[in-house]
Amino acid sequence: MKTLYLDAFSGVSGDMFIGALLDLGVDIAQLRTELQKLPVHGYTLTADRVAKSAIYGTSFDVVLDHGEKDHGFIEHHHTHGPGEQPHAHHGRHLHDIVDLITASELSATVKRHAIAIFNDIGAAESRVHNVPLAEVHFHEVGALDSIVDIVGSCICLDLLHVDRVKCSTIADGSGFIEVAHGKMPVPVPAVAQMLSDRAIPVQQHPEVHTELLTPTGLGIVKEFVTEFGPLDAQSAVHKVGYGFGKRETGQFNALRAMLLTTGQSQKQTAAGHDQVTLLETNLDDQTAEGLSFAQEQLLAAGALDVYFTPIQMKKNRPGVKLSVLVTPADRDRFVTLMLKDTTAKGVRYTAFERTVMQRRFETVTYRGLPIRLKVATYQDIRRVTPEFEDCKLAAQKLDVSLETVMAAATALAR
Ligand SMILES: O=C([S-])c1cc(C(=O)S)c[n+]([C@@H]2O[C@H](COP(=O)(O)O)[C@@H](O)[C@H]2O)c1
Ligand code: NI
């Protein structure tokens, strides 16, 4: 399995993320070509390979034409004093940006991730400033920078072709920073709000008196990272890249990105044979809520599958068997997780050989909406399945039956 590991010892921002991925080898020409699919102009991308503290990395920047300054702030409609004129808001609303991305020729994957990140940041802004989501307003210049950073990050990750993204505990600074609308505490309010709906490990550094984790950086992490923690002992590090931050932090300010190979899937042959480990435990004293939580945790940690089987246990107790399928190299990590997140006192495991169909995604467009198709092949067997969630969304948006969308998507695949 190919993993991108983010070592966020100095936080994460959009620039740092793109810089780190370019440093890992993503082609900036391809990034530029993809970004040209968006009808936004007035900027140039720069990526310079420079040394900081004698360590070489990439300093990425979005340089706006005419030397305009990015205020880096999402404006909100706030109240004005008596006699005070509202300022002119030359900016873009969240839905303008979503429409812009949706209407572009970017890939369906890039669109989906970029829109999710914008929605997450927008929802936090809406909550922080107490304005309806529809009124969250991106400042004209800040919007351009955010669009390039967010869409650019999604493009870079797509070009890197990894199976999963893992991240260390994320560092942030402390104290206050000056932004367009005054002084803000660190973590900045949008970041604090974005941390409220998911368990993300962030550690503040009292000696760093500035911001290390930006709303854009956190949005990227929340969208792509499925596991937090240190480097896996079993991983092989193939490549390391550094993306430099712009702030003076008094320490080495970079995001370190590492390309790792984890587990056995790299041993999968063209014929589709590999090995998996099945971990199991029988439980008769765990609540349904606890079981559901454990399943979520195990899937988020990268399990290939997690499922329950009803069983009859001793003393006539109805119980469940928890089964967790993982790559062999992940076995011990998942034993620990199962002992931590369930009431199990022990976990048994068996190694299996298996044959799997090769799987890839294709996207078709049905009445203007993207539908992903899972294409599974093995020898001369080929099976195409439309993604249920995409069909559901299209059925709801177009007010047609789910069956109609699924049949149309399957026909388009042919
Ligand atoms: O929503 C945005 S982009 C935003 C909100 C806040 C609040 O805390 S509210 C603060 N900022 C600051 O702007 C710059 C640039 O942020 P990006 O995420 O666009 O790179 C940064 O200093 C943020 O803390 C932005
Ligand atoms: Ni105003």
> What's the pLDDT tens digit per position in 348-358?
999 998 898 88
Cα-to-centroid distance, 277 and ligand 2 (Å): 58
What integer pLDDT is reported at residue 90 of this predicted model? Answer: 46
Cα-to-centroid distance, 28 and ligand 2 (Å): 37
Cα-to-centroid distance, 87 and ligand 2 (Å): 5
Quote the mean pLDDT of the chain.
88
Ligand at shortest distance from the CA of 69? 1
> Which residue has the CA at smallest separation from atom 9 of ligand 1?
190
121 CB less than 6 Å from ligand 1?
yes
* Choice from 130, 194, 216 to test ligand 1 binding pocket (greatest atom count within 8 A of CB): 216
Distance (Å, whole) CA 21 – CA 17: 6
* Choice from 74, 136, 249 to test ligand 1 binding pocket (greatest atom count within 8 A of CB): 74
59 CB less than 6 Å from ligand 1?
no
**pLDDT tier, 174 (very low <50, low <70, confident <90, very high otherwise):** very high
Q: Of ligand 1's atoms, which has the minimum distance to the CA of residue 146?
A: 19
What integer pLDDT is reported at residue 85 of this predicted model? Answer: 44
Q: Of ligand 1's atoms, which has the minimum distance to the CA of residue 177?
A: 22
Q: Which of 51-60, 150-159, 276-285, 325-334 has the lowest mean pLDDT?
A: 325-334
Q: What percent of the chain has pLDDT over 70?
A: 90
**pLDDT tier, 330 (very low <50, low <70, confident <90, very high otherwise):** confident
With contact defined as beta carbons under 8 Å apart, do 36 and 152 qualify? no
Ligand at shortest distance from the CA of 135? 2
> What's the pLDDT tens digit per position in 191-231?
999 999 888 999 999 999 999 999 999 999 999 998 899 99
Cα-to-centroid distance, 146 and ligand 1 (Å): 9
279 CB less than 6 Å from ligand 1?
no
Q: Is the pLDDT of residue 399 over 90?
A: yes
Tell me, yes or no, if the pTM score tops 0.90.
no
Cα-to-centroid distance, 45 and ligand 1 (Å): 20
With contact defined as beta carbons under 8 Å apart, do 74 and 138 qualify? yes
With contact defined as beta carbons under 8 Å apart, do 371 and 352 qualify? no
Q: Of ligand 1's atoms, which has the minimum distance to the CA of residue 145?
A: 19
Assigned token pair, 374: 């899972």
